[in-house]
Structure 1
Amino acid sequence: MANLPPSPQTRWQAVKMAARFISPYKRQVIYSLLALLFTATITLSIGQGIRLLIDQGFATQSKDLLSQYVVIFLLLVIALAIGTFTRYYWVTWLGERVIADIRRTVFNHLIHLHPGFFEENRSLEIQSRLTADMTLLQTVIGSSVSFALRNLIMMLGGIIWLFITNAKLTALVTICVPLVVIPILIYGRRVRHLSRQSQDRIAAVGAYVGEVLGQIKTVQAYNHQSIDQRIFHDQVEEAFAVAKQRTTQRALLVTIVIVLVLGAVGLMLWVGGIDVIEGRISGGELAAFIFYSVIVGSAVASISEVIGELQRAAGAAERTMELLRAPNLIQSPATPQPLPKVSGNIEIDQLCFAYPSRPDVLAINELTLTIRAGETLALVGPSGAGKSTLFDLLLRFFDSQSGCIKLEGIDIRHLDLFALRRCFALVSQNPVLFFGTISDNLRYARPDATDAEVEAAAEAAYAHDFICKLPQGYQTHLGDSGLGLSGGQKQRLTIARALLADAPILLLDEATSALDAQSEHWVQQALQRLMHNRTTLVIAHRLATVQSADRIAVLDHGHLDALGTHTELLQSSALYARLAALQLQPQ
């Protein structure tokens, strides 16, 4: 998501995007426009009411006529209030509804994007786009656009009434129109560019705050607060500097418009006052003309101010468009091949893969490997050997550049993504838990699981006892990432979740590496139950945990170095023997 100035084509696409989301609500748009036209008409009619009040009420010295025109004036005010209520309700409803639809559409698109997208773009900045940018768009769609249209109608209607009331005075006002339009065009472009920059800076500030506060223990453990404060200060000041430039340009725009428009009104008052004194027009006509002049002047000034809001909204819409245009590189085929009953046979044939950020470095290099149904295969090797990458490719988080992976004899790229991923249960090194109850977390893979099934999975994972000791048992709320539980307890919950998923293939990524001896004992017991009658791939740096595997695959720089049992590899693989010597033999 490059931080480049938006092109006219991009802005037009942003407008079309907004129109696409508004189009399903044509009825509400019509209600809003009718209410807007009604209130504008009533407001413009008040000018004629003032003229009649002065010329027919005050000038004639008639109490009856004065009372009649005051009643008419009050009726206009009541009608204006009703129309304003209707306009505000439907315009605000429309803004809230459209933004809710946009948020849902963007989220639905993001949640299906390939994981590589989130490695190249900061998740916290994307989060800012879903919150701050959406709030800005809501304000514009639900308020500013209506305000601009209302003022545009008032300006056009006011100009028409100005000509009807007094053409000579109107000519004086219209002289200033080009003088007002030119600065709007000049400064509007500057405001648009600065608005986009300001939003990007604010998004960066939000992303940095989320990152630091999300890792607050590490920040404080290394006494990094002063450095983070300085970095945050610099980012906030950068955001403030851009905002100051944008505010200055907008302030200059509004100031110039006010001076020109109200200067024209002042000139008109002088000329009109002389005409009243000399009897060429009545006092009521001048009062009406002043009213319409103020309306036109206020409308022009308001439109120039709203243009700044619309420029910011254009920037927010462009940033939203960037998210919606982000291509999903990993998708199900148009006509997926049906998947037979999965027993866990996997064939990896001449697989080559390099991450998009490092296209010249092969993370998997011509890997060929056959995994038999029901066996436990351990993947070992030094860091960077490609073990975790292989898991990513099995789950189709990425696609290989060449070679293929077959599940039950079918290339996984020919399978429906959801059907493919239902075949795997993943237990990672860092247990992933979500904000919510323990029950919600266990049901993550199977929302329809019964309470009895949830408890059975927890018992099999040796988690039921400690869950029952918690304040609300299975309904106990967990903090972010399972805050409040020990590492072993979190891991046993993820194992229970994997048990509940009941997938035929199990992927274990260093599931016990970060645990103490007692926690590891319970987790290992739970894993033994989980691995029963399942094809299991185990990533492990600690060879003591995989010696009992049916086979061990030794990976080095993405290719298969050796394959066999622990005893066989000690004889046939120098790399495995070296790893074993470092870990298993006494010093």
Structure 2
Amino acid sequence: MEELIEHSRLQQAAEKPLRLLWPLLRPHRFRLALGVLAMLVSAGGMLAIGQGLREIVDRAFADHSGKFLNDALLVLLCVILLMAGASFVRLKLVYQVAERVINDLRKKIYAHLLSLDPAFFEQHQTGDQVSRINADTTVLQLVITTNLPMVFRHSMMMLGGIAMLCVVSPGMTFAVLLIVPLVIGPIVYFGRRVRARSRDTQNRIGDVSAYSQETLQGIQTIQSFGYEGEAARKFGAMADDVFEAAMKYVAYRAILTAYVIATVMSGIGVVLWRGGYQVLAGDMTPGDLSAFIFYATMVAGAVTAISEALSEFSRASGAADRIMDLLNTRPGLQTSAAPRPLPEKIRGEMEFRNVTFSYPARPGHEALHEASFRVAPGEVVAVVGPSGAGKTTIFQLLQRFYDPAAGSICIDGVNIAECDPRDVRRHLSVVSQDPAILSMSVAENIRMAKPDASDDEVRRAAELAQAHDFISAMSLNYGTMVGERGNRLSGGQKQRIAIARAILKDSKILLLDEATSALDAANEIAVHKALKHLMQGRTTLIIAHRLSTVQNADRIIVMDNGRIVAEGSHAQLYAQKGLYTHLAGLQMDLKAG
């Protein structure tokens, strides 16, 4: 009973990669069918060689003229050429399909990752997701290019070989088939263990990928603190864990392969011994024995190859599990099947109504508590407060990266929880404190806001953001590559490109999160002029610590510990001698000092 259960689990392990890959393989059915036909031709050629061997042993040596041998060689060469052609067709078709399918799978995984909300990335390492796109899909690629064709081809050869064994000697065939349970048993036994070790190895590879990506992205900090040795030690320990997990997988597979070879070859030896006695007794011809040994060896090789392929299927099952877990992950944001649309042109009114929110990674801490405020169309409102007060959380909720636990957020009176997040974000332009600059050209980074923007539109946005001069001084101007995470740009340059991006989007609502924090005094004045022009007729929400940024706002919201503690103009709030007065005093002391 336990063996049947194990066999079922092994079968499921083989099915998982196929269940994941079949929707992607289905469009290539015609190529796959041709590949299977080529396998049939190749397998048929091998079976024909066995019959030719019997004829040569029984007849050719009796024909002293050599004519039969000459004819046999000609036929053999024709069969070999046919098999070679079939193998060429099979390999070409299979590898074409494999490359296309894995390419489609990688695109599917990446597109799915882009659809997940920030809450997912709070709780899962980015490097581990990269490992699923690269390492796990490479394992599955081997299923298509090697394991699946191997199982098909050797299954055909095994079935054909058994049929030919029955034709040559039914009695001895029965003896050969007695070996099969001795081979299948260990395959079933080790299958689950190989699968478990494979998944463990893939998970550890994901951990290594995540750690290496994280440390290399922070290489300046690593080197600045002299942390290279400790980082290398931790990486080495993680790499050793991968090695240990891989060795356990290799050990199981090596034991299985050695057992199969020993069992199968011993069986062939016994069959050869018995067949030799039958030849001596005149019950078999030497040709029949030769053909029987040929087919028995073919069947044995096929069983060994299939056992190895099933081991690889168990390994691929671990990779398929990880990919299917990811693809089955649904975004935390629930969007209605018929989302409520926002107007094509909004007025720009925003309102928080008793909003309470906690981040998924910190469910016991309220980032916002019953926050309520309204921003009228065209109004400029600054949000100030100490670090951790909830200022950035307001921006993230407005962009519907998260939904509040209680209360509602409205744009033009429409609850954005009822809208498609992409529709909400279409009406927002954002400049964050640490802007994301991707490894592409300056123009492409600015065009992220509007991919179809003309060169003139990009240049105009850069001019308004005071970025055109330094871009023009670069080697390739707007075509200059900025490096990974914009590492070829200064902090101020990255900030101005981000501002140009927001200007190009030209949305009705502007969200400026410390938008001038990385600019020197001269550029800050210039950018303030550009932003002042841009903000005309638009609703603007600003997060800032600098007094120069907030003093000209129509209204200031003061936050502390997720609560709104005061609202008013700079003069009103400063006169209240509260938290705002304290924050403003710190700014003045800093400026004076």
TM-score normalised per structure 1: 0.95
Matched position secondary structure for 2:510? strand
Aligned mates of 1:560, 1:7 — CA distance in 2 = 59
Which of these residues, 214, 221, 230, is aligned with residue 218 of structure 1?
Answer: 221
Which of these residues, 484, 487, 496, is aligned with residue 488 of structure 2?
Answer: 484
- What RMSD over aligned residues (CA atoms) do the two structures have, in Å? 1.9
Quote the residue 1:182 is aligned against. Answer: 185
**41-50 vs 19-28, which moves further:** 19-28
**Cα offset, 1:506, TM superposition:** 0.8
Contact 1:366 1:559 in 2 (8 A): yes
Which of these residues, 453, 456, 472, is aligned with residue 452 of structure 1?
Answer: 456
Cα deviation 1:497-545 (Å, max 9, x = unaligned): 1111001111111123344434434443443333333211111123342
Quote the residue 2:6 is aligned against. Answer: none
Matched position secondary structure for 1:513? coil
Cα deviation 1:251-278 (Å, max 9, x = unaligned): 0000000000001111112222233334
Change (3 A) 1:7 1:126: farther
Contact 2:14 2:310 in 1 (8 A): no
Contact 2:383 2:544 in 1 (8 A): yes
Cα deviation 1:315-355 (Å, max 9, x = unaligned): 11111101111111225432233323212111111111111
Quote the residue 2:125 is aligned against. Answer: 122
**Cα offset, 1:21, TM superposition:** 2.3
Are 1:100 and 2:103 counterparts? yes
Aligned mates of 2:455, 2:471 — CA distance in 1 = 14
**Cα offset, 1:12, TM superposition:** 5.6
Aligned mates of 1:46, 1:532 — CA distance in 2 = 85
Change (3 A) 1:10 1:352: farther
Quote the residue 1:251 is aligned against. Answer: 254
**Cα offset, 1:37, TM superposition:** 1.5
Matched position secondary structure for 2:422? helix
Matched position secondary structure for 1:406? strand
Aligned mates of 1:160, 1:10 — CA distance in 2 = 29
Which of these residues, 505, 509, 531, is aligned with residue 527 of structure 1?
Answer: 531
Quote the residue 1:396 is aligned against. Answer: 400
Quote the residue 1:409 is aligned against. Answer: 413
Are 1:41 and 2:38 counterparts? no
Which of these residues, 75, 80, 83, is aligned with residue 83 of structure 2?
Answer: 80
Which of these residues, 139, 142, 148, is aligned with residue 139 of structure 1?
Answer: 142
**Cα offset, 1:551, TM superposition:** 0.7
Aligned mates of 2:11, 2:516 — CA distance in 1 = 54
Q: What fraction of aligned residue pairs are identical, expressed as a percent? A: 42
Contact 1:331 1:417 in 2 (8 A): no
**Cα offset, 1:46, TM superposition:** 0.9
Quote the residue 2:112 is aligned against. Answer: 109
Matched position secondary structure for 1:552? strand
Matched position secondary structure for 1:160? helix
Aligned mates of 1:579, 1:133 — CA distance in 2 = 51
Aligned mates of 1:82, 1:106 — CA distance in 2 = 36
1:20-31 equivalence runs, <5 A? 20-31=23-34
**Cα offset, 1:9, TM superposition:** 7.7
Quote the residue 2:381 is aligned against. Answer: 377
Runs of 4+ in 1 over 6 A off after TM superposition: 6-11
TM-score normalised per structure 2: 0.94
**Cα offset, 1:228, TM superposition:** 0.7
Contact 1:495 1:526 in 2 (8 A): no
**Cα offset, 1:55, TM superposition:** 1.6
Contact 2:340 2:419 in 1 (8 A): yes
**389-398 vs 350-359, which moves further:** 350-359
**Cα offset, 1:10, TM superposition:** 8.9
> Which residue type is aligned with residue 70 of structure 1?
L
> Which residue type is aligned with residue 308 of structure 1?
S
Which of these residues, 275, 283, 288, is aligned with residue 285 of structure 1?
Answer: 288
Are 1:507 and 2:511 counterparts? yes
Aligned mates of 1:487, 1:134 — CA distance in 2 = 37
> Which residue type is aligned with residue 310 of structure 1?
F
Number of corresponding residues: 582
**Cα offset, 1:13, TM superposition:** 5.8
1:406-485 equivalence runs, <5 A? 406-485=410-489
**541-550 vs 561-570, which moves further:** 541-550
Are 1:342 and 2:346 counterparts? yes
Quote the residue 1:559 is aligned against. Answer: 563
Contact 2:127 2:210 in 1 (8 A): yes
Aligned mates of 1:320, 1:118 — CA distance in 2 = 16
Quote the residue 1:194 is aligned against. Answer: 197
> Which residue type is aligned with residue 208 of structure 1?
Y
Aligned mates of 1:111, 1:442 — CA distance in 2 = 20
Are 1:230 and 2:268 counterparts? no
Contact 2:449 2:505 in 1 (8 A): yes
> Which residue type is aligned with residue 117 of structure 2?
H
Are 1:53 and 2:56 counterparts? yes
> Which residue type is aligned with residue 337 of structure 1?
R
Aligned mates of 2:410, 2:234 — CA distance in 1 = 48
Change (3 A) 1:321 1:176: same
1:150-169 equivalence runs, <5 A? 150-169=153-172
Cα deviation 1:58-100 (Å, max 9, x = unaligned): 2332422221121111111111111111111222222222222
Matched position secondary structure for 1:436? coil
Quote the residue 1:3 is aligned against. Answer: none
Cα deviation 1:81-129 (Å, max 9, x = unaligned): 1111111122222222222222222222211111111111111110110
Change (3 A) 1:544 1:321: same
Aligned mates of 1:291, 1:495 — CA distance in 2 = 75
Aligned mates of 1:480, 1:506 — CA distance in 2 = 27
Aligned mates of 2:124, 2:211 — CA distance in 1 = 13
Gap runs ≥5 in structure 1 = 1-5
> Which residue type is aligned with residue 570 of structure 1?
Y
Matched position secondary structure for 2:517? coil
Quote the residue 2:206 is aligned against. Answer: 203
**Cα offset, 1:573, TM superposition:** 5.5
**Cα offset, 1:14, TM superposition:** 5.2
Quote the residue 2:575 is aligned against. Answer: 571
Aligned mates of 2:388, 2:84 — CA distance in 1 = 70
**Cα offset, 1:183, TM superposition:** 0.7
Contact 2:14 2:313 in 1 (8 A): no
Change (3 A) 1:7 1:62: closer
**Cα offset, 1:161, TM superposition:** 1.2
Are 1:358 and 2:362 counterparts? yes
Aligned mates of 1:199, 1:38 — CA distance in 2 = 37
Aligned mates of 1:573, 1:35 — CA distance in 2 = 86
> Which residue type is aligned with residue 19 of structure 1?
W
Aligned mates of 1:490, 1:115 — CA distance in 2 = 23
Are 1:324 and 2:333 counterparts? no
**390-399 vs 401-410, which moves further:** 401-410
Quote the residue 1:308 is aligned against. Answer: 311
Matched position secondary structure for 1:533? coil
> Which residue type is aligned with residue 58 of structure 2?
D
Cα deviation 1:262-295 (Å, max 9, x = unaligned): 0111111222223333433222212111111111
Gap runs ≥5 in structure 2 = 1-8
